[in-house]
Chain A
Amino acid sequence: AVQLVESGGGLVQPKESLKISCAASGFTFSNAAMYWVRQAPGKGLEWVARIRTKPNNYATYYADSVKGRFTISRDDSKSMVYLQMDNLKTEDTAMYYCTDRLGARGYWGQGVMVTVSS
Chain B
Amino acid sequence: DIQMTQSPPSLSASLGDKVTITCQASQNINKYIAWYQQKPGKAPRLLIRYTSTLESGTPSRFSGSGSGRDYSFSISNVESEDIASYYCLQYVNLYTFGAGTKLELK
Question: CB distance A103 to B43 under 8 Å?
Answer: no
Contacts of B43 in A (CB 8 A): 97, 99, 108-111
Once bound together, how far apart are the Cα atoms of A104 and B91, in whole Å?
Answer: 10
* Chain A binding surface, main DSSP class: loop
B56 interface contact, C-beta 8 A:
yes
Whether A45 pairs with B46 at a CB distance below 8 angstroms is no
Q: Which chain B residue shows the least CB distance to A46?
A: B97
When distances are taken between beta carbons in the complex, the residues of chain B under 8 Å from A26 are none
Contact B1 A64 (CB under 8 A): yes
B49 touches A45 (CB 8 A): no
CB A85 to nearest CB in B, in angstroms, measures 19
- Count CB-based A-B contacts (< 8 Å): 55
Whether, in the assembled complex, B68 has its beta carbon less than 8 Å from a beta carbon of chain A, the answer is no
CB within 8 Å of B: which A85-111 residues: 97, 99, 101-106, 108-111
Q: Verify if B78 is at the interface (C-beta below 8 Å from A).
A: no
8 Å CB contact of A103 from B56, B85, B91 = B91
B: contact size bracket: 20 to 34
| A97 cross-chain contacts in B, Cβ below 8 A | 43-44
Whether, in the assembled complex, A44 has its beta carbon less than 8 Å from a beta carbon of chain B, the answer is: yes
Chain B 65-106 residues near chain A, CB threshold 8 A: 85, 87, 89, 91, 94-100
For the complex, is A58 an interface residue (Cβ under 8 Å from B)? no
Q: How many angstroms between the C-alpha atoms of A97 and B94 in the bound complex?
A: 17
Query: Can you list 16 pairs linking A and B with CB atoms under 8 Å apart?
Result: A35-B95, A45-B44, A45-B89, A45-B100, A47-B96, A47-B97, A102-B91, A102-B95, A103-B46, A103-B49, A103-B89, A103-B95, A105-B55, A105-B56, A106-B46, A108-B44
Which A residues are closer than 8 A to B by beta carbons? 35, 37, 44-47, 50, 61, 63-64, 97, 99, 101-106, 108-111
- 3 tightest CB-CB pairs across the interface, nearest first? A103-B91, A108-B43, A47-B95
